[in-house]
A and B are shown apart, each in its own frame.
Chain A
Amino acid sequence: GQQVMQIPQYQHVQEGEDFTTYCNSSTTLSNIQWYKQRPGGHPVFLIQLVKSGEVKKQKRLTFQFGEAKKNSSLHITATQTTDVGTYFCAGRDSGGGNKLTFGTGTQLKVEL
């Protein structure tokens, strides 16, 4: 079945440093969504990418969808303590269906 891996699993950064998490799927994706889960909370939708090579920005966050639609990345510029949490990518297989397969997640910790 479809597998979605994320690296790194954990990342500790100093406030102000940049952060990137990478998402890789075993199959071609029809779209990819990103979610953030704060400690003790539930995943919250951030953004969706659909087109090959698509890049979207939300303030300090930059999301990219790979040309082959099998990988994606999330880059945070100048991290803040409010960025703490686990970031998940989630993809829908291009073979059909509406099942979202979540990545393994990257846990971000930001130290002052």
Chain B
Amino acid sequence: KAGVTQTPRYLIKTRGQQVTLSCSPISGHRSVSWYQQTPGQGLQFLFEYFSETQRNKGNFPGRFSGRQFSNSRSEMNVSTLELGDSALYLCASSEGVWGSPLHFGNGTRLTVT
């Protein structure tokens, strides 16, 4: 099976712009989670989608949003970018049942200047 695919791998944006990141999960996986990874804060949970519905949400401002499509692909959007949004954004897919492990993509490295 193909792994989790995230695009693009790298992004450079300026403050105030918005950005959309894409994630294609492993075939058959219905759950997609998004995490923000920074050296200072570690892995911070953004949200989880399951069958097109947001099932869990982390403590991020409303500028961070996401959605999931009927084919389980997911997108994450960040509006009005701030310098502090610079991070590695990781997408992880799973079967979505209790205890199922997360399978991470290679991430999108976002730099905000």
Interface of A toward B, CB cutoff 8 Å: 1, 30-31, 33, 35, 41-45, 48, 50, 88, 90, 92, 97-105
The residues of B with any CB-CB pair to A shorter than 8 Å are 31, 33, 35, 42-45, 48, 50, 55-56, 58-59, 90, 92, 96, 98-99, 101-107
Contact A42 B90 (CB under 8 A): yes
Number of A-B contacts defined by CB within 8 Å: 54
Other-chain contact of B102, A41, A43, A97, A104 (Cβ < 8 Å): A43
Bound complex: CA A55 to CA B42 (Å) = 26
A98 lies within 8 A of B48 (CB): yes
A-B contact sample (20 more), CB < 8 A, given A45-B101, A90-B43, A99-B58? A31-B99, A33-B101, A35-B102, A42-B90, A43-B104, A45-B103, A50-B99, A88-B42, A97-B56, A98-B96, A98-B98, A99-B45, A100-B45, A101-B45, A102-B35, A102-B43, A102-B45, A103-B42, A104-B42, A105-B42
Report whether over half of chain A's contact residues are helix, strand or loop; otherwise say mixed: strand
Please list 22 pairs of residues, one from A and one from B, whose beta carbons are closer than 8 Å in the complex, sorted by A's number. Answer: A1-B59, A31-B99, A41-B106, A42-B104, A42-B106, A43-B102, A43-B104, A44-B104, A45-B103, A88-B43, A90-B43, A90-B102, A92-B98, A98-B31, A98-B50, A98-B55, A98-B98, A99-B45, A99-B48, A102-B43, A103-B42, A105-B43
Chain A residues near B58 (CB-CB < 8 A)? 99
A98–B101 CA distance with the chains assembled, in angstroms: 11
